[in-house]
Each structure stands twice: as C-alpha cells, then as structure tokens.
Amino acid sequence: MAVCCRLLMLLTLLTLLCVQPGAAQKKKENMLVEKVEQMMDWSSRRSVIRMNGDKFRRFVKAPPRNYSVIVMFTALQPQRQCSVCRQANEEYQVLANSWRYSSAFSNKLFFTVVDYDEGADVFQQLNMNSAPTFMHFPAKGKPKRADTFDLQRIGFASEQLAKWIADRTDVQIRVFRPPNYSGTIALALLVSLVGGLLYLRRNNLEFIYNKTGWAMAALCVVFAMTSGQMWNHIRGPPYAHKNPQNGQVSYIHGSSQAQFVAESHIILLLNAAITMGMVLLNEAATSKGDVGKRRIICLVGLGLVVFFFSFLLSIFRSKYHGYPYSFLIK
C-alpha cells in the first residue's frame, strides 16, 4: 500500500512535472492574448497609448510579444518648455490616427508614448538623455541601432515617420492629415465677431475712421517685423540663455546670426521709443499750446531719439564684432 501510495505520489509528481511546461506555455499564451487584448482595448480608446514605467516594462519590454511597438519618449509637461516635443507630438498623433482609422489597422503595431514626468526610470534604463526620441521595439529580439529614429537628420514629419515604420516593420501607413479647419473656423469667428460688433454699433461707426487706430495697427506690424519676430516664429529660439555655471541670464545673443526672444522684445521697445521720439519732436513743433510744455515735449522727444538710438547702436555693436562706431554709450 505504502509502495502504491508512493508510486502514486511519484506519478502525480511526474505528471505535475510533465504538465508544468505545458501549463507555462499556456499561461504565456494567455498572457500574450491578455496583453494584446489590453493593448487593443487601450488603442481603441486612444490612438496613442500613454505608458508609465510599469506598463512600459510589462507591455513593451517583457518578452512574450507578437506585436511591434513604436514609442515616443518625450517631455510634454509645460514646465519642461520643450516646444519641439509638442510639434513632434502633433505629427505623431497624426500618424497614429492615420493608422488607427485605416482599413489595415491590426494588432501588429501599437503607438505609445512615455512622458519623462511619468516614467523617468524608463529614460534612465534606456540611457536616454534627449527628448523627443522615437524608438521601435520589434516583435522579436532587441531594438537595433536603426530602430531609433534619426530625428536630427530627417525631422519628425509624419510622412518621414511612416517611411521609417514601413522600413522597420513592413507596415505601410498612408498618412492622412485631417484638414485643418481650426484656422478657418477661427477666421470665420473673428469675421462674425467683427461683423456683429459693427452691426451693433452701426449707428456710430466713427471709430472705423479713426486714423490713430489704423496707424497704431500698421506700426505694430512694422515693429514686429523689424525686430525679427518672424525669425523667432520660424526658428523658435529660447527666451533667454541661462549660463549653467554661474546662473547668469543673458538676454542678448552673442552672435549676429541669431537672437533670443527677449532680445527681440527689447529691440521692439527701442524701435518704438525712437519712433515715438520722432513723433513727439514733430508734435512739439506743430501743436498749439503752452510754450513751456512744448519745450519739454521737444526735449523729451529728442532725448528718446538720441538716447535709445545710442543704446540700440551699442547692442548692435556688442553683437556685430568689429563694428567700430558708437554714439554716447559705448
């Protein structure tokens, strides 16, 4: 009996032992199915899945996978001040939506995002020190060098991303940009608002004939352009530069080829002050009023022109090395 018992036990043990791998396999499959389902569930809700450290390790890093994952590592929190991240994110959303709503949508490919503020550990783990970065985690094996998208060189247009994804995963995504109605809507709103205002004030349309208002608007455009706001808009420079060593903040860029946002604002004010000085000089001579007052206006105008122009000249001189001339201020 005892022998029998033992045999039985052994048998059970054996069977248990034999069953174990099979069960593990099954469990793995279950896990995979579960993971895919989970991922599908998420991506049906949002085309780009947000991940934190745990989720990233479980769904992207951990081995049982039969799907490719594209991960954007980014820092979208406003306090990070990463304007590139936001632009890249928009392009990424366009791409992910194109995939999500395309007829070829399947569980072969998922788009995810890891924000630095939610998964800083992931950044450390991958030794990553710049954002945004796009990486592809293939279904099998580890990511290779080409699985990191070369952002510096190709840029982050969704067409380029799609090309890269097609190259890495054989999934072709036709980028469909939703026509951007926001501009049109904003314009229509503005027009209707202005129209409405005009209609409400139809009995008193004097303000349209107000030359000062129009002159102000024209000068605003001129000042914005001559101080290089268009350059800022296209190039997106930082507001000012803070020296990491001694914490000094410099508002003026050292080279004549570039500028900071703060610097362009300073220039805008200087230009406006000089213009105002010229207008005041003219005003002082033409207006009818107390002579003493006019003299003061005249001197203020002159001071504005001369002082701010020499200030402007000195800023220019500090940027344009080798420029020999200055006036009042070195």
Partner 1 sequence: MAEQHTASDCKQRASQGAGGSVSGNGRPNTAAGCGGGGGGLSGGLTQPAGWQSLLSFTILFLAWLAGFSSRLFAVIRFESIIHEFDPWFNYRSTHHLSTNGFYEFLNWFDERAWYPLGRIVGGTVYPGLMVTAGLIHYLLNLLNVTVHIRDVCVFLAPIFSGLTAISTFLLTRELWNQGAGLLAACFIAIVPGYISRSVAGSFDNEGIAIFALQFTYYLWVKSVKTGSVFWTIGCCLSYFYMVSAWGGYVFIINLIPLHVFVLLLMQRYSRRLYIAYSTFYIVGLVLSMQIPFVGFQPIRTSEHMAAAGVFALLQAYAFLQYLKDRLTKQEFQTLFFLGVSLAAGVVFLTVIYLTYTGETPNLPDSVCFRYAKIHIPIIASVSEHQPTTWVSFFFDLHILVCTFPAGLWFCIKNINDERVFVALYAISAVYFAGVMVRLMLTLTPVVCMLSAIAFSSVFEHYLGDDMKRENPPAEDSKEGLGPNIKSIVTMLMLMLLMMFAVHCTWVTSNAYSSPSVVLASYNHDGSRNILDDFREAYYWLRQNTDEHARVMSWWDYGYQIAGMANRTTLVDNNTWNNSHIALVGKAMSSNESAAYEIMKSLDVDYVLIIFGGVIGYSGDDINKFLWMVRIAEGEHPKDIRESDYFTPQGEFRVDKAGSPTLLNCLMYKMSYYRFGEMQVTLDFRTPPGFDRTRNAEIGNKDIRLKHLEEAFTSEHWLVRIYRVKKQENRQALDHKDLLSVLI
Question: How near is the Cβ of 203 to partner 1 at its closest, in Å?
Answer: 18
Quick count: other Cβ atoms within 10 Å of Cβ 243?
9
Convert 311-326 to b/e letters by CB count within 10 Å (16 or more is b). Answer: bbbebebebeeeeeee
What are the backbone dihedrals phi and psi of residue 326, each rounded to the nearest 5 degrees, phi first?
Answer: -150, 170
Measured from the CB atom, the residue of 59 and 308 that comes closer to partner 1 is: 308
Question: How near is the Cβ of 209 to partner 1 at its closest, in Å?
Answer: 9
Measured from the CB atom, the residue of 175 and 312 that comes closer to partner 1 is: 312
**Spatial contact of 260 and 227, defined as CB atoms under 8 Å apart:** no
Question: How near is the Cβ of 173 to partner 1 at its closest, in Å?
Answer: 18
Question: How near is the Cβ of 320 to partner 1 at its closest, in Å?
Answer: 7
Q: Report CA-CA distances (Å) from 260 to 36, 215, 276.
A: 48, 28, 24
300 forms part of the interface with partner 1 (CB under 8 A): no
Cis check: omega of the bond before 244, within 30 degrees of 0:
no
Question: How near is the Cβ of 307 to partner 1 at its closest, in Å?
Answer: 11
84 forms part of the interface with partner 1 (CB under 8 A): no
Binders of partner 1 in range 195-214 (CB under 8 A): 211-212, 214
State the pairing for strand pair 133-137/68-74.
antiparallel
Instruction: Give 63-105 as a DSSP string.
Output: S---SEEEEEEE--SGGG--HHHHHHHHHHHHHHHHHHTSTT-
Provide the mask over 264-283, with x wherever binding to partner 1 is found by CB under 8 A and - wherever it is not.
Answer: x--x--xxx-xx--xx-xx-
223 forms part of the interface with partner 1 (CB under 8 A): yes
Choose which of 289, 314, 321, 329 interacts with partner 1 (CB under 8 A): 289
226 forms part of the interface with partner 1 (CB under 8 A): yes
230 forms part of the interface with partner 1 (CB under 8 A): yes
What are the backbone dihedrals phi and psi of residue 186, each rounded to the nearest 5 degrees, phi first?
Answer: -60, -40
Measured from the CB atom, the residue of 84 and 298 that comes closer to partner 1 is: 298
Which span sits near partner 1 by CB under 8 A: 56-64, 98-106, 186-194, 262-270?
A: 262-270
Instruction: Give 197-241 as a DSSP string.
Output: HHHHTTT--GGGG-HHHHHHHHHHHHHHHHTTHHHHHHH---SSE
Measured from the CB atom, the residue of 69 and 284 that comes closer to partner 1 is: 284
Quick count: other Cβ atoms within 10 Å of Cβ 42?
18
320 forms part of the interface with partner 1 (CB under 8 A): yes
Choose which of 29, 37, 90, 150 interacts with partner 1 (CB under 8 A): 150
**Spatial contact of 13 and 34, defined as CB atoms under 8 Å apart:** no
Binding site for partner 1 (CB under 8 A): 150, 152-153, 155, 157, 211-212, 214-215, 218-219, 221-231, 233-235, 256-259, 263-264, 267, 270-272, 274-275, 278-279, 281-282, 284-286, 288-289, 291, 294-295, 298-299, 302, 305-306, 308-309, 312-313, 316, 319-320, 323-325, 327
